[in-house]
């Protein structure tokens, strides 16, 4: 049975003089071409909804702690 030797790719290589080069292999660069994170996107609406829920719960908590309604607090 023949076994193939695979050369493992490491970040350490040696040049012809035997000097170790730690930075011989550069990582592959890529740019994610996903959906935009600005404007009326699904992500923006999701964040907006979450922040609205947090604000509403905070408003209820403030009313419970102070015993006054929101309109009474702001004057």
pLDDT by residue, tens only, the chain of 75 residues: 555 555 555 666 677 787 777 665 667 777 777 666 667 888 889 999 999 999 999 999 999 999 998 889 888
Task: With residue 14 as reference, give the H or E element that holds it.
Answer: strand 13-14
pLDDT for res 16: 78
Residues 6+ apart with CB under 8 A from 19: none
- Give the domain ranges of the chain: 37-75
Q: Which residues of 2-16 are buried (b: 16+ CB within 10 A; e: fewer)?
A: eeeeeeeeeeeeeee
Note if the pTM is more than 0.75.
Answer: no
């Amino acid at each position: 049975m023949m076994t193939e030797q695979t050369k493992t790719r490491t970040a350490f290589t040696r040049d012809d003089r035997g000097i170790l080069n730690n930075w011989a292999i550069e990582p592959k660069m890529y740019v994610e071409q996903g959906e935009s994170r600005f404007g009326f996107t699904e992500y923006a609406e999701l964040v907006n909804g979450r922040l609205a829920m947090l604000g509403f719960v905070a408003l209820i908590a403030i009313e419970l702690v102070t015993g006054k309604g929101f309109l009474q607090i702001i004057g």
